[in-house]
Structure 1
């Protein structure tokens, strides 16, 4: 049993678009490690059965994407505090004792990307303006509070979702109407788009950006295109911008380390490997 080649993969439906196989494949090759990483289209009805079967086939863990990120929490034996707080998991570990361990590394990936893109970024420098109140926003808000951002201004197209996050996370969250979202930028230190607006094939993020000033850091979790309309405008106004690809790369590193025993570097070669083709 000990000389089994470790297998990992990503489960969701659909998964054909996932960049994770390319990313993990690059790391396995770079470090000369034995192992394979496989995309698997698993529908909701088969999720429980798949999680029981895959460890028996040699799988050591999985990434989880839509639509399973919430449901896997109920199937896991152990859930990290941050996954419980976010209400979703993106990383599963099949432990040697047979237990299923669920974690969420999205917030970690977001902060690591921000720190790599802006080495001097200071959480206490001022408020963060966050667009969107979905699953990604939950992970990002959790991580911003964790590293010491004192005020988070939040706007979502459906205000009730933003209000629900304020109820959950407390008075550090200030909710703005979507039509007033541009006002959140005034005096903010960090501006974050957590929505899919601006992504290839989606509508643009139509928010007035007059409040952007050169001392602000602006980041977008969208990475297709790498330079979204928000980032292009922010760059024009002299802001420091950080694209969304790094979040994808950094969130993958903890899982890779647990599964294959090597902490991978997120460097220029990693970015290039994921972007090619």
Structure 2
């Protein structure tokens, strides 16, 4: 007997925490479904979507590297936000249609509820100009933040501004250039991730009410977050974005809201 399922696809895929998150929620809700992981290379993406279209139990998939920018040609409809970002991380079966979404922006913004009600504090400095930075920049602009972006070169900064399609203050140069006292500092680079160099940035110019957000979640406490906490600054780690974007996808796959009242228990499992 088969049962409905969703899954995460990418290459590599063994490191994904998505199965733990989604299956935890399914268990709490008593839903007879499952969430899997499947290794799918860039060359195999077309065959994958041909196969799952014919699988009545398949509800959809999350898409990770290197497939985020490659699956658009395999599906029938792309949500406006995903089209603007040019990256899809969630594909959902909607009747006979495969629809593509991007939940990065919603997951990123989730921890901010009530923190930036004062418009004067809606200033953010974003470090990085990659795919994650693009989705986060768009989310911040749509949330009416004044945004400064630090990149590594003039060309990357120019390409990034063009891809966003909105006016930004771009400051090309070293990622670790002095900052300008933003209310929110965000690292979207891989610097500080396990096996990568630390992020070379000074926090000296940040005010006491600033928030430091690092989307890296391995390790959970990056050198950037450790430095921020030593200064007594509020911090947000990458697990909060990961769980937030998973909750958006969960509702699309299974038709119910994720049971977020169990977030503390889920977090314990994720960091175990």
- TM class by smaller structure: over 0.9
Instruction: Provide the rounded CA distance (Å) in 2 between the counterparts of 1:114 and 1:143.
Output: 12
Q: 2:188 aligns with which of 161, 186, 194?
A: 194
Give the corresponding residue for 2:86.
87
Q: 2:159 aligns with which of 149, 158, 164?
A: 164
Aligned pairs for 1:1-277 (under 5 A) are 5-57=3-55, 58-97=57-96, 99-115=97-113, 119-122=114-117, 124=119, 125-149=121-145, 151-169=146-164, 172-179=167-174, 181-183=176-178, 185-266=179-260, 267-276=263-272
Instruction: Provide the rounded CA distance (Å) in 1 between the counterparts of 2:118 and 2:16.
Output: 31
Instruction: Provide the rounded CA distance (Å) in 2 between the counterparts of 1:198 and 1:70.
Output: 24
Cα deviations by residue, 1:90-130 (Å, 9 ceiling, x for unpaired): 00002222x11000000100001333xxx423473142100
Q: Secondary structure at the match of 1:178?
A: coil
Q: Secondary structure at the match of 1:40?
A: strand
Q: Secondary structure at the match of 2:20?
A: helix
Instruction: Provide the rounded CA distance (Å) in 2 between the counterparts of 1:140 and 1:100.
Output: 24
TM-score w.r.t. the length of structure 1 is 0.91
Q: Secondary structure at the match of 1:52?
A: helix
Instruction: Give unmatched runs, 5+ long, in structure 1.
Output: none
Q: Secondary structure at the match of 2:196?
A: coil
Instruction: Provide the rounded CA distance (Å) in 2 between the counterparts of 1:52 and 1:256.
Output: 23
Runs (4 or more) in structure 1 with deviation over 4 Å come to none
Instruction: Provide the rounded CA distance (Å) in 1 between the counterparts of 2:264 and 2:233.
Output: 22
Change (3 A) 1:202 1:232: same
Contact 1:126 1:187 in 2 (8 A): no
Instruction: Provide the rounded CA distance (Å) in 1 between the counterparts of 2:147 and 2:18.
Output: 30
Aligned residues: 268
Q: Secondary structure at the match of 2:201?
A: coil
